Amino acid sequence: MLWTLILTCAVMFNSCKRETPWWEMDITTPVLSGSLSLNNLATDSILTADADGTVRVSWITEFPGLSDPALYEIPDTSILYSYNVPFGNFTFNPGDFITPNNLDQSSLNVSTVQLASATLRGGKILARIQNDVTRRILVRFEIPGAVRNSVSFDTTFVVPAAPSGSVSTVQFATIDMAGYVIDFTGVAGDRVNTITTRFTAQIDPTETGSALVTNVDSVAILMTYQDLQPEYIRGYFGNQILQLGPEESTLSAFQNIAGGSLLLDSLTMTLDVKNYVGMDARMTINNIWSRNSTTNNSIYLTHPLIGAPVNLTRATYSFAWPPVIPQTYSWTFNNSNSNVKALAENLPNNLGYDIKLETNPLGNISGNNDFLFVDYSLDAQLKLDLPMKFAANDIRLTDTLTTNFADFKNRDQIQKGKLYLHTWNSFPLNATVQLYLLDATGNITDSLAVSNSTIQAAPTTNVNGYLTSTGNANSLIAFDLNETLTNRLLYTDRMLIRVRFDSNSYPQLVRITNTNRIDFKITTDFTYSTKAE
């Protein structure tokens, strides 16, 4: 018996020397915390509070592109200036002029407007100069009506001599036109869309010997006016019909709402139109609509303004900065005169418009003095004003959270555990929550599920027919993590939290105040496996 006991102890001792035991221990640690408030619902908004504490949310969105480039585009134009001696053969000495000293008036490729003048912010002239003369020449090119810094456009090209009477010399140059003010009215000021130039060619006075020039020899310069970008134009913009849209712009007001339905108490929308163009116009708004790209549902605005022509008076030149005093027009849409509430209840992320604009409906009453600063055109702005009194049914908000699992030491020793979501809710709304794991590109790779993910609504009282919160409700939601899910979670840098809101008694309206929010904290309780020392 004694020997048996000794043998048993020896075996146990040797076993302990061959294997080191593993111990399991639970470690609880905070992962992240945050808050969901109206800022998550009402992105890019202005939040104010009414006298009773109700939050009022305002969004402003622009209608881009309400200036048609047809009003100010100057198409590329190529003009050839060429001279041949009229007949016979002529001998020219150094310093002699081959061409006459005449002004030339050429038309630009402008057909939709009648340009009188323009100030350029960009553009260039591409010059191609050809010399058939067997002596070096000086080609001078002037645009008397183009002035920059009080100096008229005047440039001279030195062109090498032609190698022989049958071979020409060709030279290229690029001239920057930014900053020039150009008069397009011609020599007598009675034209439009006209570029006035002077082109002369002279035998270089420093040359030696005379040159024989025949009537087949020429000196030519091809000037291409390219990408002329006006900053300001003046003239007559014609009686045109411009179609602005159909086009949609992004509406950020509801971009964080992933689904559900919203019943609003009221909504006011204001449309402000400012005419910065020195031109009379007649505007017809054919349609304004909201579109939910998730459901692809569109709601069109109904209001007496839709389809009705509106006369817009021309702006005034201010001789100051900003350079224009606009004419301003404003229309208000509310529950009583339109279906504007339905446009917002569509939970749109796109706002569309279709506008027809007739320029100068009364003709050229300005005498070619219409004007346009390209940066100041026809602006339209929509302002949505929403008092936060509504009923919510399965309204889904999302937010992306950054985790700190990368700071955990010995992540490979974590086997499983729990993730706890602690919430403090002061919204008068019930909510359910779902957590998702994201990869580096923002795609969902897995989700954390739980049988009961309810965040209790705050206690409420009825104030003037609206449920209003009177405190906080605390909730604790536990997510069980198996080994596979634990491993994925530990190597996730970001998580998506999705909260679904519901009114306590939909369609009973609730009132949101500026103190309402859901504060949350996420903690973990992981089981570590570690070797005994």
Other beta carbons within 10 Å of 400: 11
CATH number where 453 lies: 2.60.40
Assess contact for 479 and 435: CB atoms under 8 A: yes
pLDDT for the residue 460: 92
Q: Are residues 246 and 203 both part of a single domain?
A: no
Q: Are residues 320 and 173 both part of a single domain?
A: no
Band of residue 106 on the pLDDT scale cut at 50, 70, 90: very high
Q: What's the residue count for the chain?
A: 533
Q: Are residues 367 and 406 both part of a single domain?
A: no
CA 345, CA 352: separation in Å to the nearest integer? 16
Residue 380: inside a domain, yes or no? Answer: yes
Report residue 59 as tokens.
């969004």
Pick the closest to residue 495 from 520, 517, 516 (CA basis).
Answer: 520
The tens digit of pLDDT for each residue in 39-77 reads: 666 655 677 878 877 888 888 888 766 667 778 889 999
Q: Are residues 304 and 453 both part of a single domain?
A: no
- Going by the DSSP 8-state scheme, the letter that residue 21 receives in this structure is P
- Going by the DSSP 8-state scheme, the letter that residue 279 receives in this structure is S
Q: Are residues 377 and 504 both part of a single domain?
A: no
Pick the closest to residue 422 from 476, 492, 343 (CA basis).
Answer: 476
pLDDT for the residue 10: 29
- Going by the DSSP 8-state scheme, the letter that residue 339 receives in this structure is -
Task: Give me the helices (H) in 23-181, please.
Answer: 38-41
Assess contact for 98 and 86: CB atoms under 8 A: no
Instruction: Using the structure block, give the residue that is written with the tokens 């006016």.
Output: 225
The tens digit of pLDDT for each residue in 121-174 reads: 999 999 999 999 999 999 999 999 999 999 999 999 999 999 987 899 999 999
* 398 vs 323, more confident: 323
Using DSSP bridges, classify how beta strands 77-84 and 137-148 pair: parallel, antiparallel or unpaired: unpaired
Residue 328: inside a domain, yes or no? Answer: yes
Question: Which of 193, 214, 236 is the last residue in one of the domains?
Answer: 236
pLDDT for the residue 42: 60
CA 346, CA 28: separation in Å to the nearest integer? 44
Residue 15: inside a domain, yes or no? Answer: no
User: Coil, helix or strand for 6?
Assistant: helix
Q: Are residues 193 and 325 both part of a single domain?
A: no
Residue 91: inside a domain, yes or no? Answer: yes
Using DSSP bridges, classify how beta strands 494-503 and 316-317 pair: parallel, antiparallel or unpaired: unpaired
The tens digit of pLDDT for each residue in 24-36 reads: 444 556 667 778 7
pLDDT for the residue 310: 97
Q: Are residues 206 and 257 both part of a single domain?
A: no
Q: Are residues 348 and 217 both part of a single domain?
A: no
Residue 428: inside a domain, yes or no? Answer: yes
Question: Which of 327, 359, 387 is the last residue in one of the domains?
Answer: 387
Q: Are residues 152 and 193 both part of a single domain?
A: yes
Residue 7: inside a domain, yes or no? Answer: no
Neighbouring residues of 10: CB distance < 8 A, sequence distance ≥ 6 = none
Assess contact for 423 and 497: CB atoms under 8 A: no
Q: Are residues 94 and 242 both part of a single domain?
A: no
Amino acid identity for residue 224 in this structure:
T
- The count of structural domains within the chain is 3
Report residue 33 as tokens.
């915390």
Q: Are residues 421 and 524 both part of a single domain?
A: yes
Average pLDDT over residues 281-302: 94
Amino acid identity for residue 324 in this structure:
V
pLDDT at 4 over 50: no
Pick the closest to residue 110 from 187, 225, 222 (CA basis).
Answer: 225
Residue 34 burial class via C-beta count within 10 angstroms: exposed 0-12, middle 13-18, buried 19 and up: middle
Give the domain range for residue 169. 71-236
The tens digit of pLDDT for each residue in 422-431 reads: 999 999 988 8
pLDDT for the residue 40: 62
Pick the closest to residue 510 from 521, 519, 501, 518 (CA basis).
Answer: 501
Report residue 345 as tokens.
């209840």
CA 63, CA 57: separation in Å to the nearest integer? 20
CA 390, CA 266: separation in Å to the nearest integer? 8
Residue 239: half-sphere exposure toward Cβ, Cα within 13 Å:
6
pLDDT for the residue 9: 30
CA 447, CA 186: separation in Å to the nearest integer? 73
Q: Are residues 86 and 184 both part of a single domain?
A: yes
Neighbouring residues of 252: CB distance < 8 A, sequence distance ≥ 6 = 43, 44, 59, 61, 349
Residue 60: inside a domain, yes or no? Answer: no
Pick the closest to residue 66 from 327, 276, 297, 209 (CA basis).
Answer: 276
Residue 248: inside a domain, yes or no? Answer: yes
Neighbouring residues of 406: CB distance < 8 A, sequence distance ≥ 6 = 493
CATH number where 85 lies: 2.60.120
Average pLDDT over residues 370-387: 90
Residue 486's H or E segment, with its range, is: helix 483-490
Percent of the chain clearing pLDDT 90 (strictly above): 52
Report residue 420 as tokens.
């706890």
- Going by the DSSP 8-state scheme, the letter that residue 412 receives in this structure is G
Question: Which of 387, 419, 453 is the last residue in one of the domains?
Answer: 387
Distance of CA 224 to the CA centre of its chain: 33
